[in-house]
Amino acid sequence: MGLLSNRIDRSSLKPGDHIYSWRTAYIYAHHGIYVGDDRVIHFTRRGQEVGTGTVLDLILVSSGPSRGHTHCPTCVPPNEGYGVVSSCLNCFLAGGVLYRFEYSVNAAHFLAKARGGTCTLAVSDPDDIVVHRAKHLLQNGFGCYDVFKNNCEDFAIYCKTGLLVLEGRTMGQSGQAVSIIGGPIAAVLSTPMRLVTTNVYGMAATAVSVYCASRYATDIGMRADVAKVAVEDLTRRLSSGLFQVIEPPLAANVLPTTS
C-alpha cells in the first residue's frame, strides 16, 4: 500500500476489506467486499460488472471478463437479473491484480491519486459491521444498478461506511463515476482561460485544478448531503420505494460479448 499503488498480496487480505481490480486498459475497476473464506460480495447489473443501457456498454462490457467465462465449481454463475452476488476471489479478480481501497486518507494523499475510485477521506466502520452489511445486502439486494448513481463502488463504500449520498430520493455517487464525468467538465470549465492566456501549460494546470477540486468536493467523506443509514433501514426503504434508483433501459444495439 502506498502513494503510487494500492496493490496488495492475498496473504494480507482480511474480512471487511474493500478490494478492487482494474479491467482491460484500466477502463474501469470492479469493487467488492472481502468477507473471508476466499469469498467476495459485489454488486452487478444483469450478470455484467458494469452497464449503462447505452452504446457505451460496447466498450465497458468488452473490457471486462467474458460472459462465456467458465465459473469455478464453488461459484454460482450470475443470473440475468441485477443484484448483489458472492464469488470466490479468483472469479472476482478474473485474472486481474488485487488492490485494496484506502479509507481515512488525508487531503494531500487523496489529491495525489489522479484517478478516482481508489481512496476516500471517509472513515471505515469496524470490519465486523462491514461484513454484516455485505451479507445482509447479499440476501436483500442493493436496489437497481446504475453505473453513475448506484454501482459496485457505491455498494462497497456503503458497506464500509454506512454512508449514502441522498439526492432527494436517490442514491449515488462513486469516485470512479466522478472521475469519468469530472474530466470533461474540467476541460469545459477551463476553456475560458483562453481569453486570459494562450499558454497551453496554464490551461492544462487550470483543468487539473478544477478536476481535483471537483473530486475533493464530491468525495463521500466531504459531502454535506450524506447520511448514515443502517443496512436494515436501507433495505426496508428500498423495498418500500423510499429510495429509488431507476435502472436505464437496455439499449437494443448493445451486443453481448462472446468467449
Maximum pairwise Cα distance, the chain: 62
Strands 170-172 vs 29-36: parallel, antiparallel or unpaired: unpaired
For cell 449503462, what's the residue?
A: 52
224 three-state secondary structure: coil
Distances (CA, A) of 51 to 61, 97, 100, 172: 7, 22, 23, 15
What cell numbers appear for 190 in the block?
477551463
Measured on CA atoms in the order 220, 182, 176, 144, is the torsion positive or negative?
positive
Residue 225 CA to residue 67 CA, distance in Å, equals 37
| DSSP-derived secondary structure letter, 33 | E
Which residue(s) pair with 33 in the sheet? 18, 41
The answer to whether 103 touches 124, Cβ cutoff 8 Å, is: yes
Q: How many CB atoms lie within 10 A of CB 12?
A: 10
Four-CA torsion 158, 159, 161, 166, nearest 10 degrees: 20
Based on the residue annotation, tell me whether 136 is a catalytic residue of this protein: no
Could you say which of 30, 91, 119, 136 is catalytic?
A: 30
Could you say which of 18, 119, 136, 152 is catalytic?
A: 152
Based on the residue annotation, tell me whether 109 is a catalytic residue of this protein: no
Based on the residue annotation, tell me whether 30 is a catalytic residue of this protein: yes
Could you say which of 18, 31, 42, 136 is catalytic?
A: 42
The residues annotated as belonging to the active site are 30, 42, 152
